Chain A
Amino acid sequence: MKRVVITGAGTINALGHSVADTMTALAEGRCGIGPLVFRDVERLSIQIGAQVRGFEADGRYNRQQMSLYDRFTQFTLAAAAEAITQSGIMFSGELAAKSGVVLGTAGGGVSTWDDNYRSVYEEGKNRVHPLVVPKLMNNAAASHVSMEYNLKGPSFTVSTACASSNHAMAQAFQMVRTGLAPAMVTGGSESMLCFGGVKAWEGLRVMSKDACRPFSANRNGMVQGEGAGIFVFEEYEHARGRGAEILCEVAGFAMSSDATDIVMPSKNGAARAIAGALSDAQLNPEDVGYINAHGTGTAANDKTECAAVADVFGQHADKLMISSTKSMHGHLIGGTGAVELLACIMALRDGVIAPTIGYEEADPECALDVVPNEARYAKVNVVLSNAFAFGGMNAVLALRKV
């Protein structure tokens, strides 16, 4: 088995258009959630979200690219450029032939679906743009990354709702670890903040109208975000050989399926994924200093997740820190684990633990150290990143300081 390290990171989300800006915002406990701005928003009962602002795709991409890039692809390419530039890796020859890109997204080109349905149903047009299908398909972002960076190895898109990115990164990790690929570009993206995207979520009645307050007794639901997080996962010796800066090591992962309910989370399924990741990484529960929680801010998720953590960690559950950064960047659905990995890197590399903001009232069912409202300085050597999706599909990553 080979060791796998992260040598590049890139992002765009409501907190910032780069990793540095995002980490600064996470450390400051800044909230990226605000009033949604898009067509027909006044017809929604949920009118807040963590929207990416000031992102001018028109200047960044040419006309031909714009006809192929849905917003989720635009975000992905912006984040990939940052990650691959930082990593300094050049994909050519055998490295290019073996390296690929595995990304997560739940909805793919949601706004492309939305715009074109509007055009044929509402406006009664009988013709759509010829490139609608390649623009909206879930693998469009991964395909454009592969074309942009000459990635010719195993490449695909994973879609497991809110766990998509973690499942994708687990796949990429496995490919590098087993020697199938020397490096992989991985992560995920989402852009559902349009009328149809939010309208669909509204129906489930799990969204908050005012704020995302994970673990707080007065929490009243999730708030959606958008954006992308992209990483370069690379074999350790390969990274060292070219003198790359190593952000941290990916130590292990586990996936599990609740096999119980389509929306209600299961403590057992979550606990099996957490314990599985520790065991895969050959770590003891006591090694873990920080967990980036799934922490959606719904009544069901947060208490179930805390119970699962208590089960797996026993007494150590009271010593570790667990925070939900969704309180700041919102829930990026299929892209969420990727953006949240930045909080894990920040904890390991910089010793800064991102807080759970919006925390107002203790909940006896979430009685863990949730790093309320203010970031904390702490040296941690091992962190976990949790993702528990609708459909009961879970993926947990374990990361280690190098």
Chain B
Amino acid sequence: MSVTDKIFEIIAGQAVLETSDVTMESTLEDLGIDSLGLVESIFAIEEEFDITVPFNANEPTNSDFDISSVAKIIEGVERFLKEQAG
């Protein structure tokens, strides 16, 4: 499964939706994922890809992880996978 497919699965699971309901343009808000759901999604991503995602819920926009859409989240995860490889 590709990184994109896995992230779709994680986000859909958190939102209690089908993966087909999630699009690249979806925002977490669109999908009904609140702050607690976000923190759980990040945890699931870290576990799935064995990476560390820097994210402070107090300053979401200052974190080095753009969560404004599903596409941005995938972009971020791909970057962390590269940076944290090996």
B39 within 8 A of A: yes
- Of the candidate stretches A67-75, A91-99, A204-212, the one touching chain B is A204-212
Which residues of chain A are near B57, meaning CB under 8 Å?
A: 204-206, 221, 298-299
8 A Cβ contacts from B31-86 to A? 34-36, 39, 42-43, 52, 55-59, 62
8 A Cβ contacts from A183-238 to B? 203-209, 219-221
Q: What are 18 inter-chain pairs, A to B, with CB distance below 8 A?
A: A45-B52, A204-B39, A204-B57, A206-B58, A207-B56, A208-B56, A208-B58, A220-B56, A220-B62, A221-B57, A262-B36, A263-B35, A263-B36, A264-B35, A299-B57, A299-B58, A299-B59, A300-B58
8 A Cβ contacts from A298-313 to B? 298-300
* Complex-state Cα separation, A220 to B57, whole angstroms: 8
- Nearest Cβ distance between residue A143 and chain B, in whole angstroms? 35
Residue among A45, A220, A300 having the largest count of chain B Cβ atoms under 10 Å:
A220
Q: Evaluate contact between A219 and B39: CB separation under 8 angstroms.
A: no
- Nearest Cβ distance between residue B29 and chain A, in whole angstroms? 15
* Complex-state Cα separation, A219 to B59, whole angstroms: 8
Q: Give the 5 A-B CB pairs with smallest separation, nearest first.
A: A299-B58, A205-B57, A221-B58, A220-B58, A220-B59
Which residues of chain B are near A203, meaning CB under 8 Å?
A: 39, 43
* Complex-state Cα separation, A357 to B39, whole angstroms: 29
A296's closest neighbor in chain B, by CB? B58
Q: Please give the number of chain B residues whose Cβ is less than 8 angstroms from any Cβ of chain A in the complex.
A: 13
* Complex-state Cα separation, A208 to B56, whole angstroms: 8
* Complex-state Cα separation, A206 to B62, whole angstroms: 14
- Nearest Cβ distance between residue B1 and chain A, in whole angstroms? 26
**Contact A219 to B36, CB < 8 A, known contacts A203-B43, A205-B42:** no
B40's closest neighbor in chain A, by CB? A203
Which residues of chain A are near B59, meaning CB under 8 Å?
A: 220, 299
A: which residues have CB within 8 A of B? 45, 203-209, 219-221, 262-264, 298-300
Which residues of chain B are near A299, meaning CB under 8 Å?
A: 57-59
- Nearest Cβ distance between residue B10 and chain A, in whole angstroms? 16
B: which residues have CB within 8 A of A? 34-36, 39, 42-43, 52, 55-59, 62
Q: Evaluate contact between A221 and B56: CB separation under 8 angstroms.
A: yes
Which residues of chain A are near B56, meaning CB under 8 Å?
A: 205-209, 220-221
A221's closest neighbor in chain B, by CB? B58
Which residues of chain A are near B55, meaning CB under 8 Å?
A: 205
B57's closest neighbor in chain A, by CB? A205
B35's closest neighbor in chain A, by CB? A264
Q: Evaluate contact between A219 and B58: CB separation under 8 angstroms.
A: yes
B36's closest neighbor in chain A, by CB? A263
One of A262, A264, A298 near B58 (C-beta < 8 A)? A298
* Complex-state Cα separation, A264 to B56, whole angstroms: 15
Which residues of chain A are near B35, meaning CB under 8 Å?
A: 263-264, 300
- Nearest Cβ distance between residue A219 and chain B, in whole angstroms? 7
Which residues of chain A are near B52, meaning CB under 8 Å?
A: 45
Which residues of chain B are near A206, meaning CB under 8 Å?
A: 56-58
B42's closest neighbor in chain A, by CB? A205
* Complex-state Cα separation, A68 to B79, whole angstroms: 50
* Complex-state Cα separation, A45 to B52, whole angstroms: 10
Q: Evaluate contact between B39 and A205: CB separation under 8 angstroms.
A: yes
Known contacts A208-B56, A264-B34, then 16 further A-B pairs from the complex at CB < 8 Å, ordered by chain A residue: A205-B55, A205-B56, A208-B58, A219-B58, A220-B56, A220-B59, A220-B62, A221-B57, A221-B58, A262-B36, A298-B57, A299-B57, A299-B58, A299-B59, A300-B35, A300-B58
* Complex-state Cα separation, A204 to B55, whole angstroms: 10
* Complex-state Cα separation, A300 to B36, whole angstroms: 13
Residue among B36, B43, B57 having the largest count of chain A Cβ atoms under 10 Å:
B57
- Nearest Cβ distance between residue B39 and chain A, in whole angstroms? 5
* Complex-state Cα separation, A45 to B62, whole angstroms: 17
A263's closest neighbor in chain B, by CB? B36
- Nearest Cβ distance between residue A259 and chain B, in whole angstroms? 17
* Complex-state Cα separation, A219 to B42, whole angstroms: 22
Which residues of chain B are near A298, meaning CB under 8 Å?
A: 57-58
* Complex-state Cα separation, A264 to B35, whole angstroms: 9
